[in-house]
């Protein structure tokens, strides 16, 4: 089983750079400890100081790292000009020596769609059109034009071409069966969230693998990454306090994701009324407790785990690298 990191920095109005510096140094230490990759989140309009420009941060990391895979989890396609995003991703891929893992998604927070004045009911259609434009940009030799519902491009040509061919690996955040099947049929990789219980993770991974093989691709265990919240305890009192702080953060995410007047929605809301399920999924506790949960994930077929470490705790970071 390989480990990577999932998450992002937080800035503060009094010193916006401090949180960024701390998180980037955290990632540099992770590379030195042998972590396989990192996936940075993209969020907007939170008021919490979350990262809004992960590709810019990855450009900085590309210059300071040599082995770590550099990923996004995820770029929400509805909010970006797809040609600009294809160019920016290709630039990071070139500068990193071909280490970009581009995670993409439809978005799940209502407040972000509201802030961009985009109807979140259009998320699916915007995702599909933008992905089509980006894929054509990366794979077309020469110029092309596009006429779509949301975007129009005339005689466009991608500059620069990505180093990884035909394009950087595309990782899709998906929880519904239909989304998992589409990702597998297209040969895309799969990101599974940190809230889903291990038995459901196993079912989703099995569906993905079956569809990949039916589509004529070779299944690679490293093509599925499962996120998990992590906190390694030093003493018995640490765990409960860490879980309480985690619950506060999750409640903020739930409230940001809710669409007024509409039930259901994202993978976050799927567990909104079941905090015990979210706790069961988390890797919180001693080495032995965490080891049991990792063994269950391995039995479900998981080979790549992305760790979201509470407070960027260096003890937990080092403990997972050198248990």
**How do residues 36-62 score in pLDDT, each as one tens digit?**
999 999 999 988 878 999 999 999 999
Q: Is residue 211 within 8 Å of residue 265, measured between CB atoms?
A: no
* Contact predicate 177/206, CB 8 Å: no
Give the global pTM: 0.93
CA atoms within 13 A on the CB side of 253: 21
In this predicted structure, what is the pLDDT of residue 275?
A: 60
Nearest to 173 by CA among 245, 248, 123, 232: 123
Q: Give the containing element (helix H, strand E) for 101.
A: strand 100-105
Residue with tokens 């955040």: 173
Of 119, 124, 127, residue with least CA distance to 259: 119
Cβ contacts of 181 within 8 Å, gap of 6 or more: 207, 211
| Residues in CB range of 244: below 8 A, 6 or more apart | none
What pLDDT, on a 0 to 100 scale, did the predictor assign at position 152? Answer: 98
* Cα–Cα distance, 206 to 301 (Å, whole number): 8
CB 270 within 8 A of CB 263: no
Judge whether 297 and 227 are in contact, CB under 8 Å: no
Q: Where are the domains of the chain?
A: 2-321
Question: Phi/psi of residue 81, each to 5°?
Answer: -65, 120
Cα–Cα distance measured from residue 110 to residue 21, given in angstroms and rounded to the nearest whole number: 29
Contact by Cβ (8 Å): 77, 151: no
In this prediction, residue 243 carries a pLDDT of: 75
pLDDT < 50 stretches in the chain: none
What 3-state class would DSSP assign to 254?
A: helix
Residues 69 and 37: beta-carbon distance below 8 Å: yes
Which residues, in sequence order, are bridge partners of residue 5?
A: 38, 307
CATH code matching the domain that covers 2-321, chosen among 3.40.190.10, 3.20.10.10, 3.30.360.10, 3.20.20.30? 3.20.20.30
The DSSP code sequence of 49-70 is -B-S-HHHHHHHHHHH-SS-EE
**φ, ψ at 19 (rounded to 5°):** -65, -35
């Amino acid at each position: 089983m390989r480990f990577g990191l999932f998450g992002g920095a937080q800035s503060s109005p009094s010193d916006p750079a401090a949180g960024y510096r701390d998180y980037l140094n955290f990632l540099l230490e992770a590379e030195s400890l042998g972590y396989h990759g990192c996936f940075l989140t993209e969020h907007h309009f939170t008021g919490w100081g979350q990262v809004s420009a992960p590709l810019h941060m990855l450009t900085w990391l590309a210059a300071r790292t040599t082995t770590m895979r550099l990923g996004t989890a995820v770029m929400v396609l509805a909010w970006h000009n797809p040609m600009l995003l294809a160019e920016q991703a290709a630039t990071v891929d070139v500068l990193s020596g071909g280490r970009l893992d581009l995670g993409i998604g439809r978005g799940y927070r209502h407040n972000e769609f509201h802030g961009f004045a985009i109807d979140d009911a259009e998320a699916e259609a915007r995702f599909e059109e933008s992905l089509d434009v980006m894929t054509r940009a990366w794979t077309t030799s020469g110029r092309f034009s596009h006429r779509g519902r949301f975007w129009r491009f005339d005689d466009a040509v991608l500059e620069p071409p990505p180093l990884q061919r035909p394009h950087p690996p595309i990782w899709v955040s998906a929880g519904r069966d239909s989304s998992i099947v589409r990702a597998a049929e297209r040969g895309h990789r799969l990101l599974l969230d940190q809230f889903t219980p291990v038995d459901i993770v196993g079912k989703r991974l099995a569906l993905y693998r079956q569809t990949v093989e039916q589509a004529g691709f070779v299944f690679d265990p490293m093509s599925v990454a499962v996120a998990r919240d992590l906190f390694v305890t030093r003493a018995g009192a640490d765990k409960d306090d860490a879980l309480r702080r985690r619950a506060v953060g999750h409640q903020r995410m739930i409230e940001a994701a809710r669409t007024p007047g509409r039930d259901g929605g994202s993978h976050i809301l799927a567990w909104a009324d079941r905090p015990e399920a979210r706790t069961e999924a988390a890797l919180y506790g001693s080495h032995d407790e965490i080891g049991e949960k990792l063994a269950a994930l391995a039995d479900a077929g998981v080979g790549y785990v992305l760790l979201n470490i509470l407070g960027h705790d260096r003890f937990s970071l080092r403990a997972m690298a050198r248990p």
